[in-house]
C-alpha cells in the first residue's frame, strides 16, 4: 500500500491592512495596474469644475473693471449704469462661486477618494515628493516618459491646493468682507465677515489690494492649468480634458 502524501492547502497571506495615511499616498501616486478605462470624476465634481471655471472668468473680468473702471459713457448715467451692471455680475458670480465651493467641500466627504485629492496632500510621503520632482522634469522636457495616474498627478495636487484652493478661500473671505462693508457695518454680513479686516490691520484699502492680488494668483494658475491640460492630453499616456467631461480616465497604452 502506497502512502499518498496529503497535500497541504496553500497558505494565503492576510490582506494588507493599510491605514488612512497609506491609502492617501497610494491614491495620490502612480498607478501600477492601469486598466483600459476607470471612472474617476463623479458628476457633482465635474459640475463644480465647470461652474467654478465660468465664475472665475466672470469674476476676473468684472473685478478688473471694478478696480480699473472703463471710461465714462456719454449721456445721463441713469441711462447706462455700466459699472453698476458690472458690479452686479461680479457679486452674483461671487455668491455662486461661494455656494459651489461649499458644495465641493461637502462632496470631498460624500464622493469617492478622487474627490478628496486636492484637499489632502500626502506631504509626509517621500514617494509623493519624488513623483512631484518627476512631474517637474516631465513638464520641463527633461525626462522622456510620463507616469500614469488615475486621479491628479502629485504636481497637479500641489498646484491646485496652493494656487487654487488657498487663494480661492482667501478671495471668498475678502470678497464677502468688502461686500459686507458696503452693505453697512450694522448688518448680518458684517457680523459674519467683519473679522476679516482684522487680519489686514483693519485696513479696508489693504483688503481691496489683497483681494485684487489673489485674483492674479488664480489667473496665473488658470493659464498654466489650461496649458498643462492640453499638453497632457496630447503628450501623456492618459486622457485629461475628456475625463473632466465624461468622468472616465482612458489610458493610451499598457506600459508599466
Per residue in 97-135, pLDDT (tens digit) is: 999 999 999 999 999 999 999 999 999 999 999 999 999
Whether the per-residue pLDDT at 256 is higher than 60: the answer is no
Residue located via cell numbers 462632496: 107
According to CATH, the superfamily of the domain at 35-70+80-250 is: Transmembrane di-heme cytochromes, Chain C (1.20.950.20)
pTM, two decimal places? 0.84
Alpha carbons within 13 angstroms on the beta-carbon side of residue 87 total: 11
Whether the per-residue pLDDT at 13 is higher than 90: the answer is no
Whether the per-residue pLDDT at 175 is higher than 80: the answer is yes
Whether the per-residue pLDDT at 156 is higher than 80: the answer is yes
Whether the per-residue pLDDT at 254 is higher than 70: the answer is no
CB 59 within 8 A of CB 90: yes
Whether the per-residue pLDDT at 7 is higher than 70: the answer is no
Q: Which residues pair with 37 in a beta bridge?
A: 250
Q: How far apart are CA 77 and CA 72, in angstroms?
A: 9
Amino acid at each position: 500500500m502506497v502512502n499518498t502524501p496529503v497535500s497541504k492547502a496553500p497558505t494565503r497571506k492576510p490582506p494588507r491592512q493599510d491605514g488612512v495615511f497609506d491609502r492617501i499616498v497610494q491614491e495620490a501616486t502612480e498607478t501600477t495596474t492601469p486598466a483600459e478605462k476607470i471612472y474617476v470624476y463623479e458628476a457633482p465634481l465635474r459640475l463644480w469644475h465647470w461652474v467654478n471655471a465660468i465664475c472665475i472668468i466672470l469674476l476676473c473680468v468684472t473685478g478688473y473693471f471694478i478696480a480699473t473702471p472703463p471710461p465714462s459713457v456719454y449721456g445721463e448715467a441713469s441711462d447706462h449704469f455700466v459699472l453698476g451692471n458690472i458690479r452686479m455680475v461680479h457679486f452674483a458670480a461671487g455668491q455662486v462661486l461661494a455656494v459651489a465651493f461649499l458644495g465641493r467641500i461637502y462632496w470631498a466627504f460624500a464622493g469617492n477618494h478622487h474627490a478628496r485629492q486636492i484637499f489632502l496632500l500626502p506631504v509626509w510621503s517621500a514617494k509623493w515628493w519624488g513623483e512631484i520632482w518627476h512631474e517637474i522634469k516631465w513638464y520641463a522636457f527633461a525626462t522622456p516618459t510620463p507616469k500614469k495616474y488615475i486621479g491628479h498627478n502629485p504636481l497637479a495636487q500641489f498646484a491646485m491646493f496652493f494656487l487654487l484652493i488657498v487663494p480661492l478661500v482667501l478671495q471668498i473671505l475678502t470678497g464677502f468682507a468688502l461686500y459686507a462693508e458696503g452693505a453697512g457695518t450694522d448688518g448680518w454680513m458684517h457680523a459674519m465677515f467683519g473679522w476679516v479686516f482684522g487680519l489686514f490691520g483693519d485696513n479696508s484699502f489693504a483688503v481691496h489690494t489683497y483681494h485684487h492680488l489673489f485674483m492674479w494668483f488664480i489667473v496665473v494658475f488658470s493659464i498654466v492649468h489650461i496649458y498643462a491640460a492640453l499638453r497632457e492630453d496630447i503628450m501623456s499616456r492618459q486622457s485629461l480634458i475628456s475625463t473632466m467631461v465624461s468622468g472616465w480616465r482612458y489610458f493610451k497604452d499598457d506600459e508599466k
